[in-house]
Amino acid sequence: MIQESEVVALVFGVAAALILFFLFRTTRIPRRPWFVAGFLMLVSSSVLTIVEDILWHDLFNTLEHLGHMLSGLCFAVGARSVRRMQERIQKERVP
Amino acid sequence: MSIIVLLDILSVIAFGAAFFYGLGIRTTLWAGPARLFFTLSMGLYVLVALSKVLEHSGITPSYDAYEDHAEILFLPLFLFFLFSIRARQELNIRGQAEEEMRKAVSRAWEEKEKFEAMISAVGDGIAILDRDLRVLYENHVHRMMMGDHVSEFCYRAYQKREAPCEECPVALAYLDGKIHTVEKVVSKDGQTLYLEITASPLRDSRGAVVGGVEVVRDVTVRRQAEAEIRESAERYRDLFENANDAIFIVDTDLRYKAVNRKAAEVLGYSIEELLTMSVLDIIPQDQVSRSEEEFQKLGKTGAYEQFVGKVRKRDGRCIDVEVNSSAIIKDGAVVGSRDIMRDITDRRKGEEALRQSEERYRMLFENNPHPMWVYDLETLAFLAVNTAAIRHYGYSREEFLARTIKDIRPPEDVPALLGNIAQVTEGIDEAGTWRHRTKDGRIIDVEITSHVLVFDGRRAELVLAHDVTERRRMEEELLKAQKLESLCILAGGLAHDFNNLLTAILGNISLAQMYSDGDAQIAERLQEAERASLRARDLTYQLLTFSRGGEPVKKAVVLGPLIKEAADFALRGSRSRCEFDLPEDLWTAEVDEGQISQVMNNLVINADQAMPGGGLVTVSGSNRTVGDTEIPNLSAGDYVRITVADRGIGIPHQHLKKIFDPYFTTKQKGSGLGLATSYSILHRHGGHITVTSDVGKGTAFTFYLPAADRATASKPQQPNALVRGQGRILVMDDEAMVRDVAGKMLAGLGYEVEIAKDGEEALSVYEAAMTEGMPFAAVIMDLTIPGGMGGKEAVERLKSRDPAAKVIVSSGYSNDPVMAEYRAYGFDAVVAKPYTVKNLSEAVARVLSREKT
């Protein structure tokens, strides 16, 4: 059964995604693809949470957890990449 | 463990890792809030994932009660994004500002570099000083010139002083705020430097003088150049003023703008006077137009011109000058000319003298009668030849100059020539006699005298060749003539002695004939002996003619038999034969038989030699009456003409004129005397000889002898018709056998004979006979008495004592001039040795009969 909080979360996620879409058209942050991908995975998990309540619960539930795990993975890779970039810049500045 | 739990565990790990990495990020990329929300967000998701692990693994109950607030999970993540974007935007703005700052700094550095480059590139030294005259800055050139003295006081650094210099331009600029320039002479590394120092004040933004800029320029080179220019100008002024040539600067109106001292000296005007004059004032009237043309040409072309003419001095005299002019060009236009004038009057005189001298020497060379030439000692080529050489050797001048001296030498003499040239030394070289070859191949002997000289810059030799061919030939001929003369003397002596012998032989034969009493055999033998003796006498005649020549002893002779006999005699033993055409009515001629026989002998032998294989020699005779100028060298009169013709090789035309010259011969063994002797004999007879010849056809010699009279022959003589007589005859002869036989012959003829061996004795005997009253009817005198008085002197003395004396001359030298002209010498008759009793009787009878008549 579809829960209200799940829908609200989905709406919030989609709304945030749209806002970020417009913001990212003019400004780019370092390693943006990984963070955007992680974010979109989270939004997708929200969608799958709702879908699992409608049909094929096990499949979509698994996919929801998979999306969640992939989202964490994307964020971890993005953060690590930013950190490595930071370290490289610091090395270049040291004479 | 279900897959869900596994995925949740992985989620916990992944978000935990993200959380961990997010904590380590401190850069400005993520501003504080962004990092905060990221780690917060990741932390929340760790918790969510952990709760899910607990939930799905059944460890803890469901957290559904909290899931209603799950939407809050997006908020921190959303905020992370917002702050990240914000941080990024700030970062971009700051980056742009930094970039502009960086560019500005870069531009400032570039400007600074440019400025320093400009300052360094300036050839002058630049320094900036503060108010205390401390050096704040020096550019490279300044350091090079003055040394590195930044932060030092300039007066200490540059002048080693403790106080500023009195005329320090920087200090002056500080005082009045103006620019000051001074020049200083400094010594650096032993060199004197001229420095021009310019100082200007340096002001701050308020206009206060805070320092000064000192510009130091090394003007040493400029000063040296100025000094050189001054010296150069001085030199040119000195050159102009003291030149040995007159120098003028002339404007386009031909007026003098500047003249030097020499110009005034040459023309006789002062410099001031000349500067008021025009070129036309010193040019003679007749040269004005020409001079104007030259100036116009110079003005148009601007080219260097030279002309020679005359100018008139102040005293009116004209002098020869050579003027070299060049146009003065300013801004592309001719504004005048500079003229250098030289007085060449003396030079012209010198040139004329030199020309005349050269002409004289050229004439000496060119008109020298001896061949002369100059040849190159290296190439041996002729460099110059004179007219005598051209005439002598037959080459034209061009042909000579295209040849070398080897070309006028016989090839076999060239090695010796080259050897002689290799040893040529300075000075006169008398190289001796050489053989040269003329253009027509003739070889001539020349005496060479030479001298080494330099001709047209080449080492050469002047050669004088003296042709000694003729002299050498004459020397050879003289030698030959001397030999011949010796031979003639010998032959003459032999003939004389032989005649004496023959006189004895013939006389005795005559006596034998007288005493033979009609014995026919004895008479015949004696007649043969007499004939042989007479032939021997003819030979002695020829020998005498050969030896002495001389005047012919003429008598009227029928020429036919004489000619025939001489021709046959000459051809004896030859392969040629003679054909005669001698008419019976041929006139007699007064000739010397021996000499005419010799002429025939020569002509016939020549004809025979012209036909080496033998042939026919035609001898013809005719009577000819010659008119005036009909035959050259022959006066009008009657002549007997004899022609000797052969069919031999003929004589080349060029030799015909020379064949009667003594010693001219074309035969290898010929003496060149035969035809010359014939010519001489015929001329002494009053005759003449001519020759005609066709090469390859034959030659004909024709000679003319004056006819004695128109009688065709002398009267035949009666053989043995002796003329007997009476009276006393004196016989004088140095030969005893002649005296003996003559005495016996005269005794046999009825005369009484006395003898004498020389002139003295004859005169003595003759005078004694006269004294005794028994004078001699006639005297027979030998002409030549060796060591005693001969007939010639004796007859003179005898005639002086007895002018009526009858004297007969007798001599073995039958062609002696006395024998031919005996009357001129006082003799009354002549009888040549050897004589027969008949000859003697006729001569004596002729003298005695003349006495009777």
* B140 to chain A, closest Cα gap in Å: 33
Is the residue at B102 inside a domain? no
* A55 to chain B, closest Cα gap in Å: 18
Q: Give residue-wise pLDDT tens across range B768-780.
A: 999 998 999 999 9
Sort B93 into a burial class: Cβ within 10 Å, 0-12 / 13-18 / 19+.
Answer: exposed
Task: Please report the pLDDT score of residue B542 as a whole number.
Answer: 66
B215 and B250 assigned to the same domain = no
**Average pLDDT of the segment spanning B4-28:** 86
Q: Contact B474/B480 with Cβ under 8 angstroms?
A: no
Task: Please report the pLDDT score of residue B643 as a whole number.
Answer: 95
CB-closest option in A19, A29, A65 to B84: A29
CB-closest option in B27, B29, B68 to A5: B68
Whether the CB of B52 is below 8 Å from some CB of chain A: the reply is: yes
Share of chain B above pLDDT 90, in %: 29
Question: Mutation test of the interface with chain B: which of A68, A77, A81, A84, choosing the one with the most B Cβ atoms within 10 A?
Answer: A68
- Comparing alpha-carbon positions, the chain A residue that sits nearest to B77 is A39
Q: Contact B684/B636 with Cβ under 8 angstroms?
A: no
Whether the CB of B7 is below 8 Å from some CB of chain A: the reply is: yes
Q: Contact B764/B730 with Cβ under 8 angstroms?
A: no
Between CA B531 and CA B313 the distance in angstroms is 110
Whether the CB of B795 is below 8 Å from some CB of chain A: the reply is: no
Strands (E), B266-416: 305-312, 318-330, 333-343, 372-376, 382-385
- Of B468, B540, B471, nearest in space to B502 by CA: B540
Between CA B258 and CA B492 the distance in angstroms is 103
Give how far Cα B171 sits from Cα of B138, B199, B242, B474, B674, Å: 18, 9, 51, 117, 134
Task: Please report the pLDDT score of residue B851 as a whole number.
Answer: 53
Residues 6 or more apart in contact with residue B144 via CB below 8 angstroms: B125
B60 and B76 assigned to the same domain = yes
Whether the CB of B368 is below 8 Å from some CB of chain A: the reply is: no
B577 and B702 assigned to the same domain = yes
* A13 to chain B, closest Cα gap in Å: 6
pLDDT over 70 at B492, yes or no:
yes
Is the residue at B446 inside a domain? yes
Identify the domain boundary among B693, B716, B739: B716
- Comparing alpha-carbon positions, the chain B residue that sits nearest to A43 is B74
B559 and B706 assigned to the same domain = yes
Between CA B311 and CA B317 the distance in angstroms is 8
* B186 to chain A, closest Cα gap in Å: 50
pLDDT over 80 at A92, yes or no:
no
Alpha helices in A1-95 (DSSP H): 4-23, 32-52, 57-93
Tell me which chain A residues have a C-beta less than 8 angstroms from the C-beta of B81: 16, 20, 23, 29, 35, 39
Is the residue at B394 inside a domain? yes
* A15 to chain B, closest Cα gap in Å: 10
Tell me which chain B residues have a C-beta less than 8 angstroms from the C-beta of A64: none
SS3 state of residue B18? helix
Is the residue at B476 inside a domain? no
Whether A39 sits inside 8 A of B77 (CB atoms) is yes
More confident residue, B668 or B531: B531
Q: What is the ipTM of this complex?
A: 0.90
Half-sphere exposure of B235 (CA within 13 A, CB side): 6
- Of B546, B544, B493, B552, nearest in space to B674 by CA: B546
Q: Give residue-wise pLDDT tens across range B130-169.
A: 989 999 988 888 888 888 888 999 888 888 888 888 888 9
B833 and B803 assigned to the same domain = yes
Task: Please report the pLDDT score of residue B827 as a whole number.
Answer: 92
Helix/strand/coil (H/E/C) assignment for every residue in B248-261: EEEECCCEEEEECH
Is the residue at B537 inside a domain? yes
* B47 to chain A, closest Cα gap in Å: 12
Question: Mutation test of the interface with chain A: which of B7, B40, B96, choosing the one with the most A Cβ atoms within 10 A?
Answer: B7
Tell me which chain B residues have a C-beta less than 8 angstroms from the C-beta of A20: 78, 81
Task: Please report the pLDDT score of residue B78 as a whole number.
Answer: 84
Half-sphere exposure of B316 (CA within 13 A, CB side): 0
Tell me which chain B residues have a C-beta less than 8 angstroms from the C-beta of A89: 27
Identify the domain boundary among B80, B95, B110: B95
CB-closest option in B27, B71, B82 to A12: B71
Task: Please report the pLDDT score of residue B647 as a whole number.
Answer: 92
CB-closest option in A28, A79, A86 to B18: A79
pLDDT over 70 at B258, yes or no:
yes
Which range in B459-468, B513-522, B702-711 is most confidently predicted, on average pLDDT? B459-468
Tell me which chain A residues have a C-beta less than 8 angstroms from the C-beta of B90: none
- Phi, psi (deg, nearest 5) at residue B235: -60, -45
Between CA B202 and CA B283 the distance in angstroms is 70
Whether the CB of A14 is below 8 Å from some CB of chain B: the reply is: no
The token pair that represents A2 in the structure block: 């579809």
pLDDT over 80 at B673, yes or no:
no
Whether the CB of B44 is below 8 Å from some CB of chain A: the reply is: no
Question: Mutation test of the interface with chain A: which of B13, B21, B23, B44, choosing the one with the most A Cβ atoms within 10 A?
Answer: B21
CB-closest option in B7, B22, B81 to A20: B81
B703 and B583 assigned to the same domain = yes
Sort B96 into a burial class: Cβ within 10 Å, 0-12 / 13-18 / 19+.
Answer: exposed
- Comparing alpha-carbon positions, the chain B residue that sits nearest to A20 is B81
* A38 to chain B, closest Cα gap in Å: 10
- Of B797, B663, B812, B651, nearest in space to B733 by CA: B812
- Comparing alpha-carbon positions, the chain B residue that sits nearest to A90 is B27
B501 and B618 assigned to the same domain = no
pLDDT over 90 at B80, yes or no:
no
Mean pLDDT taken over chain B? 85
Whether the CB of B82 is below 8 Å from some CB of chain A: the reply is: yes
**What is the CATH classification number for the domain harbouring B695?**
3.30.565.10
Task: Please report the pLDDT score of residue B717 as a whole number.
Answer: 47
pLDDT over 80 at B745, yes or no:
yes
Strands B577-581 and B616-626: parallel
Between CA B676 and CA B580 the distance in angstroms is 24
Sign, CA torsion B728/B732/B736/B737: negative
Identify the domain boundary among B444, B467, B490: B467
Place of tokens 């003739």: B442
Tell me which chain B residues have a C-beta less than 8 angstroms from the C-beta of A38: 18
Is the residue at B77 inside a domain? yes
**Average pLDDT of the segment spanning B53-66:** 72
Residue B715: pLDDT band (50, 70, 90) is: very low
Task: Please report the pLDDT score of residue B627 as a whole number.
Answer: 86
Whether the CB of B31 is below 8 Å from some CB of chain A: the reply is: no
B529 and B443 assigned to the same domain = no
Could you give the number of structural domains in chain B?
A: 6
Helix/strand/coil (H/E/C) assignment for every residue in B424-459: CCCCEEEEEEEEEECCCCCEEEEEEEEEEEEECCEE
**Average pLDDT of the segment spanning B359-365:** 89
* A77 to chain B, closest Cα gap in Å: 7
Task: Please report the pLDDT score of residue B348 as a whole number.
Answer: 85
The H or E element that residue B557 is part of is strand B555-557
Residue B716: pLDDT band (50, 70, 90) is: very low
**What is the CATH classification number for the domain harbouring B268?**
3.30.450.20
Between CA B708 and CA B639 the distance in angstroms is 9
Q: Give residue-wise pLDDT tens across range A43-85.
A: 888 888 888 888 888 888 889 889 989 999 999 999 899 888 8
B760 and B778 assigned to the same domain = yes
Q: Give residue-wise pLDDT tens across range B85-110.
A: 887 788 788 888 888 998 998 998 99
Residues 6 or more apart in contact with residue B297 via CB below 8 angstroms: B305
Q: Give residue-wise pLDDT tens across range B559-595.
A: 898 899 889 888 888 889 999 999 988 888 988 887 8
Task: Please report the pLDDT score of residue B409 as a whole number.
Answer: 92
Whether the CB of B18 is below 8 Å from some CB of chain A: the reply is: yes
SS3 state of residue B627? coil
More confident residue, B69 or B82: B82
Place of tokens 């060591």: B787
Listing DSSP states for B57-91 in one string gives TTSS---HHHHTTGGGGHHHHHHHHHHHHHHHHHH
The token pair that represents A34 in the structure block: 């990984």
- Of B138, B100, B145, B96, nearest in space to B120 by CA: B138
pLDDT over 70 at B630, yes or no:
yes
- Of B683, B563, B540, nearest in space to B620 by CA: B563
> The domain containing residue B72 runs over which residues?
3-95
Whether A72 sits inside 8 A of B18 (CB atoms) is yes
- Phi, psi (deg, nearest 5) at residue B372: -135, 150
Residues 6 or more apart in contact with residue B809 via CB below 8 angstroms: B781, B783, B791, B795, B818, B819, B822, B825, B827, B829, B830, B831
More confident residue, B273 or B815: B273
Question: Mutation test of the interface with chain B: which of A82, A87, A88, choosing the one with the most B Cβ atoms within 10 A?
Answer: A82
CB-closest option in B29, B49, B82 to A72: B49
- Comparing alpha-carbon positions, the chain A residue that sits nearest to B35 is A79
Share of chain B above pLDDT 70, in %: 93
Q: Give residue-wise pLDDT tens across range A42-53.
A: 888 888 888 888
**Average pLDDT of the segment spanning B496-511:** 87
Whether A76 sits inside 8 A of B89 (CB atoms) is no
* Torsion, CA B743, CA B745, CA B751, CA B754, rounded to 10: 0
Between CA B297 and CA B280 the distance in angstroms is 16
Mean pLDDT taken over chain A? 84
- Number of A/B CB contacts below 8 angstroms equals 127
Task: Please report the pLDDT score of residue B466 as a whole number.
Answer: 92
Length of chain B: 853
Find the range with the poorest average confidence among B7-16, B116-125, B407-416, B784-793. Answer: B116-125
**Average pLDDT of the segment spanning B532-545:** 76
B729 and B814 assigned to the same domain = yes
Task: Please report the pLDDT score of residue B117 as a whole number.
Answer: 81
Largest pairwise CA distance in chain A: 62
Between CA B108 and CA B128 the distance in angstroms is 21
B373 and B333 assigned to the same domain = no
**What is the CATH classification number for the domain harbouring B802?**
3.40.50.2300
Residue B713: pLDDT band (50, 70, 90) is: very low
Whether the CB of A57 is below 8 Å from some CB of chain B: the reply is: no
Is the residue at B678 inside a domain? yes
B168 and B181 assigned to the same domain = yes
Is the residue at B362 inside a domain? no
Whether B68 sits inside 8 A of A3 (CB atoms) is yes
Whether A42 sits inside 8 A of B74 (CB atoms) is yes
* A54 to chain B, closest Cα gap in Å: 18
Q: Contact B405/B420 with Cβ under 8 angstroms?
A: no
